[in-house]
Amino acid sequence: MLNVRKGVRMFAIRSLLFVAAAVLIPLTHTIADNGMGSLTVTVKDFRSGTPIEGARILITPCNYSGTTGSRGTLLFEEVTPFRNYQVDVDAEGYIHGAAGFVAVTAAEETELVIPLKKKSILRGQVTAHLLFGLIRWPLRDATVKLQQEVDGSFITRGETQTDILGRYRFADLDEGAFRISARAEGFATASADMTVEGGTRIIRNLSLLPQQEESASANGNESAGHSCCGGKTAYRSAAVTSDPCTVSAKQPVITKQVYFTPPEAVASVIPGPSELPYIYNNGRVLASNNGSRFVAAGTPVFLRGFAIDPDLPSPQEFNPDAPCFDIYENKNGNFSASIFSYRWTLMSSGGEDVSSLLQPSATGENVFFTVPEDAQPGDVLTASLVVTDDLQNASIPLGTTIVVSESVDDAACYECHRTNAAGYEATAHAAVAGGAGCQDCHGLGSEHNADPSNAALQLSTSYWPGTCGQCHVEFAELQKANHSDPLPFGYYEPSSEYLLICFRCHYTPGYIGAVESDKPFHEFRYESQDLSSIPKDTPNVSCSVCHDPHPGPENAAPFGLRTGSKATACDTCHYEKWQNAILEGRAGEFGNGYHYPGEDYTPFLGTQNYHRGDDKCVTCHMSTTGSVADEKGVLKTGGHTFRMRDFGPDAIPETGDDTLNIAVCANCHPGASSFDINGLQTEIQSLTSELFGLLTVNNSGFLPAHEPGNCARCHKGGTVPFLNDPDQILENAYTNYKLIVNDRSKGVHNPGYVKKLLQDSIQSIKNDYRSAPFAR
């Protein structure tokens, strides 16, 4: 039974396969010009066209949500424009529906129509096949199992027993490929495969043959348990479980999402006053401390509270109050877990409750306190956190200790940490008088130095970029970049197998380990034993991803770059992402684009693309030539913002108040005043719009949505199939459409390559759909 939690919880379980149709129709009238747009969503029955009342709608990012009225419509009056939205719809008795690549324009109203297909019903009878088929007798209490095919494996969707007449029934089926099987004691198992379309009623009767004695042991796993699992039935107590005897060993096991599970508290010390994005918007450009647990008396300590819950695997669920992505698509709101309540307790070394020191209160999500001036070195303050979810399930307390310490001479650190000390001596930190030393980053060392073997007193490394942000204004620039975003997914959202892959890019210590493995980064994988080392709460890309603060004297790379060069620094995580795939002309090889057979894409490969320089992304995106600073003295474009455009006060792209990082383009294009050089972007946009039209008109007016989850927004693949595309004509063209739209450069990264991909995609659809588009 689906437990519907508040906010967006109603969307927690989604169909693995679904059909949705969506038509975007810009209306002729406009709304108030306040920089926002509006969106009207209409939900109707796919076959009859009847409006569906009470359909639940969720729009991500931004978490706009609501329910349709009697006419099946819902108006969202103010929607942040120029986002790539996904609209998800659920209605009782209908297959989950969604539309992807939904865009809203400022000061305009857009209408979106999403027809839903009804769920299907499967029923039938199980009979005994006796006397060579002369007699068929209804089998009572036969076990009937329904499985759905997902990525080549069959996932159990339900199990039931037949009634006195041998009948069974499964309701609320989604679309897809299914297998129905029946077993009964003394009979061999029978099964049948079928394809289910939405809104259909299917009858599948199964007849069981008596089990032969000589084959009883071979088939015994059907009646006495799975022999491959030691003779015991290995089904988990879950509604969605992989059958261990049919799932490939390489296929991740899919388990049901459990509800009412107590959350886990995550408490940590972070650099202050805040590690949340856009610190400089609050009047602070730099951080005030390093986020260490080892601090002096009278020092402020900033505590970060977070919650992890297997019931709430994605940010949309654990943070329904998240603000909309900003205009640059930063995911700032994921830093919070607002569905939970928080309670901190602060205890002194003597066991005294000093929670009154916590500001703004002990029930804040993120709090701070000042270590008492009279605290003595060696005193320990313990901050414990309990989080409670919306069902009043409370976590066990999780504590972190703050150790009152004094500074020691950094030379004392060198005695034990000779390798890091030698690396540090080769950096600018050591070369500049009064530069940062060991304790500026790792905390005061008196207590650790006095008892270095005590694990509780081991100094640690903070990967939050605010550690560097004590001195470097680049920290404030980073707040403007997507690199500053928190994890785009929740800890429990990917399976553990995928989390081990995510670890190398989305977690700083994982990235460092992958780089230092001496294996090609894009081929490196962490193993299952490494799962326990993955942190539960972390920044996304911190300074330490690219820069090693003590790289070693043998590393001559500028700025301590871990990979040795500017180009390879980006080539690690971005190797197969859309932008690099286009820049290199290798999207067909990577699988996030489609190269049509017989077509030649080599003229745009690698350095044959004239935008592909030795330093690659850094050449343009970090260029500071002619860059302009904002009112806080932080660059608007280039540098560690990585931006090529600042949208200005109106937050609307391509208007007069935009600031362009255009000076770098003028090196090859003298006098360039926009990125639409020689009308390139205009031409690419026109071809992209033509491809959009062909894809939608030949697919009942909609583009498939992102599936599954948040990963699809930034990585290849991740959309559901087209309605009728057996030869994948539309799918292949859509792969190129997604590549080019998500690249967002409008062809600039590799103009000739993008133009050819679009032209080939358009021609392939025209060749295949010369007659009128099919109708549904």
Longest Cα pair distance anywhere in the chain, in angstroms?
Answer: 98
713: closest CA among 91, 46, 101?
A: 101
3-state secondary structure at position 541: coil
Give yes or no for a contact between 636 and 623, defined as CB atoms under 8 angstroms apart. Answer: no
Strands (E) across 151-279 are located at 153-161, 167-173, 176-183, 190-196, 201-203, 206-208, 241-242, 264-270
Residue 500 main-chain phi, psi, to 5 deg: -65, -30
Instruction: With a cut of 60, say whether residue 234 has pLDDT above it.
Output: no
CA dihedral 455, 459, 464, 469 (to 10 degrees): 170
Q: How far is CA 242 from CA 146, 179, 363, 500, 749, in A?
A: 12, 13, 41, 20, 43
What is residue 278's predicted lDDT score, i.e. its pLDDT? 65
pLDDT tens, position by position, 694-708: 998 887 777 888 766
d(CA 39, CA 62): 13
CA dihedral 707, 712, 718, 723 (to 10 degrees): 50
- Those residues whose C-beta lies under 8 Å from the C-beta of residue 280, and which sit 6 or more positions away, are 476, 479, 632, 634
Residue 195 main-chain phi, psi, to 5 deg: -110, 125
CB-hemisphere CA count at 13 Å for 11?
A: 29
pLDDT tens, position by position, 381-412: 999 999 999 999 999 999 999 999 999 998 88
d(CA 2, CA 612): 51
Give yes or no for a contact between 157 and 216, defined as CB atoms under 8 angstroms apart. Answer: no
Give yes or no for a contact between 83 and 104, defined as CB atoms under 8 angstroms apart. Answer: yes
Q: What is the DSSP letter of 134?
A: T
What is residue 332's predicted lDDT score, i.e. its pLDDT? 67
d(CA 588, CA 645): 29
Strands (E) across 405-522 are located at none
Cis omega (within 30 of 0) for bond into 708: yes
Give the containing element (helix H, strand E) for 652.
Answer: none
Helix axes 729-743, 751-768, angle to 10 degrees: 150
What is residue 723's predicted lDDT score, i.e. its pLDDT? 74
Query: Is residue 598 exposed (0-12), middle (13-18) or buried (19+ Cβ within 10 Å)?
Result: exposed
- Those residues whose C-beta lies under 8 Å from the C-beta of residue 216, and which sit 6 or more positions away, are none
Give yes or no for a contact between 88 and 17, defined as CB atoms under 8 angstroms apart. Answer: no
Instruction: With a cut of 70, say whether residue 133 has pLDDT above it.
Output: no
Domain 264-408+444-462 has CATH 2.60.40.10: yes
Helix axes 729-743, 680-697, angle to 10 degrees: 140
Is the alpha carbon torsion for 659, 749, 625, 275 positive or negative? positive
Residue 754 main-chain phi, psi, to 5 deg: -65, -45
Residue 594 main-chain phi, psi, to 5 deg: -125, 120
Q: How far is CA 96 from CA 4, 21, 218, in A?
A: 15, 11, 40
Q: How far is CA 35 from CA 75, 76, 82, 108, 671, in A?
A: 17, 14, 10, 10, 31
What is residue 232's predicted lDDT score, i.e. its pLDDT? 27
Residue 644 main-chain phi, psi, to 5 deg: -100, -10
DSSP letters along 745-763, please?
STTTTSHHHHHHHHHHHHH
Averaged pLDDT for residues 419-437: 83
Q: How much is the CA Rg of the chain, to the nearest whole Å?
A: 29
Instruction: With a cut of 70, say whether residue 1 has pLDDT above it.
Output: no
Query: Is residue 198 exposed (0-12), middle (13-18) or buried (19+ Cβ within 10 Å)?
Result: buried
d(CA 108, CA 35): 10
Averaged pLDDT for residues 533-561: 84
3-state secondary structure at position 245: coil
Give yes or no for a contact between 122 and 204, defined as CB atoms under 8 angstroms apart. Answer: yes
pLDDT tens, position by position, 91-123: 999 999 888 888 888 888 988 888 899 999 999
438: closest CA among 412, 458, 457?
A: 412
Length of the chain: 776
d(CA 138, CA 566): 72
- Those residues whose C-beta lies under 8 Å from the C-beta of residue 732, and which sit 6 or more positions away, are 594, 596, 761, 764
Averaged pLDDT for residues 224-240: 29
pLDDT tens, position by position, 55-66: 999 998 888 899
d(CA 57, CA 43): 9
3-state secondary structure at position 42: strand
Strands (E) across 141-175 are located at 143-150, 153-161, 167-173
How many other β-carbons are positioned within 10 Å of the β-carbon of residue 131?
A: 9
pLDDT tens, position by position, 455-508: 999 998 899 999 999 999 999 999 889 888 878 888 998 888 889 999 999 999
Instruction: With a cut of 90, say whether residue 211 has pLDDT above it.
Output: no
Query: Is residue 407 exposed (0-12), middle (13-18) or buried (19+ Cβ within 10 Å)?
Result: middle
d(CA 424, CA 437): 9
How many other β-carbons are positioned within 10 Å of the β-carbon of residue 389?
A: 22
CATH class (in words) of the domain with range 7-116: mainly beta
Six-digit token string for 183? 């077993």
Instruction: With a cut of 90, say whether residue 429 has pLDDT above it.
Output: no
- Provide the pLDDT confidence category of residue 259 given band limits of 50, 70 and 90: low
- Provide the pLDDT confidence category of residue 596 given band limits of 50, 70 and 90: very high
More confident residue, 215 or 322: 322
User: Over pLDDT 90: what percentage of the chain?
Assistant: 57
User: Over pLDDT 70: what percentage of the chain?
Assistant: 85
490: closest CA among 385, 260, 333?
A: 333
Six-digit token string for 411? 């030379």
Six-digit token string for 608? 């044959």
343: closest CA among 260, 267, 272, 259?
A: 267
Sequence-ordered alpha helix ranges (H) in 33-163: none
Residue spans per domain, the chain = 7-116, 120-242, 264-408+444-462, 578-623+664-776
Q: What is the DSSP letter of 559?
A: G
Give yes or no for a contact between 322 and 316, defined as CB atoms under 8 angstroms apart. Answer: yes
Fold matches, 7-116 and 264-408+444-462 = yes
- Provide the pLDDT confidence category of residue 34 given band limits of 50, 70 and 90: low
Sheet holding 264-270, edge to edge: 264-270, 300-308, 367-370
Six-digit token string for 672? 């360039």
422: closest CA among 553, 259, 580?
A: 553
Instruction: Provide the residue type at 423 as one letter.
Output: G
- Those residues whose C-beta lies under 8 Å from the C-beta of residue 656, and which sit 6 or more positions away, are 648
DSSP letters along 339-353, please?
TSEEEEEEE-TTS-B
Q: What kind of architecture, by CATH, is found in domain 120-242? A: Sandwich (2.60)
pLDDT tens, position by position, 339-376: 999 999 999 999 999 999 999 999 999 999 999 999 99
More confident residue, 744 or 227: 744
User: What is the overall mean pLDDT for the chain?
Assistant: 84
Give the containing element (helix H, strand E) for 368.
Answer: strand 367-370
Instruction: With a cut of 70, say whether residue 739 has pLDDT above it.
Output: yes
Instruction: With a cut of 50, say whether residue 52 has pLDDT above it.
Output: yes
Give yes or no for a contact between 142 and 166, defined as CB atoms under 8 angstroms apart. Answer: yes
What is residue 17's predicted lDDT score, i.e. its pLDDT? 29
What is residue 253's predicted lDDT score, i.e. its pLDDT? 31
d(CA 708, CA 489): 12
